[in-house]
A and B are shown apart, each in its own frame.
Chain A
Amino acid sequence: MAVAETIREKLAAAFSPARLEVRDESHLHKGHAGARPGGESHFRILIVADAFQGMSRLARQRAVNAALKDELAGPVHALAMTALTPAEAGETGQ
């Protein structure tokens, strides 16, 4: 399975997000030490979930990192993220 797809599935299972975007930005890091020829090394995610309510930025990222522990230990070299609650994202979540 493509790494992006694995990320998507794990985050969906862990946070039931109202919105989830996973972008492979590996092409922006070509030639960089952590980049691999096949890509799938650098990702950017936007995740909007009720689960983040009451959590600090640090706690949110720790939670996301924990959900993607295996990927971060393996193929994923960099993970940029924005983790918001529906209210912060200006969405009702309905």
Chain B
Amino acid sequence: MSDNPIFAEIKAKIDANPVMLFMKGTPQFPQCGFSAAVVQILDYLGVEYGSANVLESPELRQGVKDYSDWPTIPQLYVKGEFVGGCDIVREMFENGELRAFLEEKGVPVAA
């Protein structure tokens, strides 16, 4: 587990950003529909978040999959906790759970 040097980098990003999104592309220019969907939801909620583009680094792309034990991208972390990928974020958003979850975690959300 911890012998992978990329894990420290991933953990540092998660620790530094209360809301951290590992995605393909950037929030301004997502390069995958699933990543774009999560960006759209976070932007809609007015949440500030950090992001990392896994397409820039094969080590990061594989590393975050291993780190989270989750086979796909995007991956969303809130306050260090793995929330899930696109399906989970979308389901939580659609039934109002995501906003409640973020508020509960102390993440500012637009009214």
Which secondary structure characterizes the binding site on chain A? helix
Residues of B near any A CB (own CB < 8 A): 31-34, 69-72, 82-88, 91-92
* B65 and chain A: residue at smallest CB distance: A72
Known: A72-B71, A79-B72. A61 touches B34 (CB 8 A): no
Contact between chains at A78 and B34 (CB < 8 Å): yes
27 cross-chain CB contacts under 8 A: A29-B33, A32-B32, A33-B31, A57-B88, A57-B92, A58-B82, A58-B83, A58-B84, A58-B88, A61-B85, A61-B87, A61-B88, A62-B69, A62-B70, A65-B70, A65-B71, A69-B71, A72-B71, A72-B72, A73-B71, A78-B34, A79-B72, A80-B34, A80-B86, A80-B87, A81-B87, A82-B87
Number of interface residues of A (CB under 8 A): 16
Residues of A near any B CB (own CB < 8 A): 29, 32-33, 57-58, 61-62, 65, 69, 72-73, 78-82
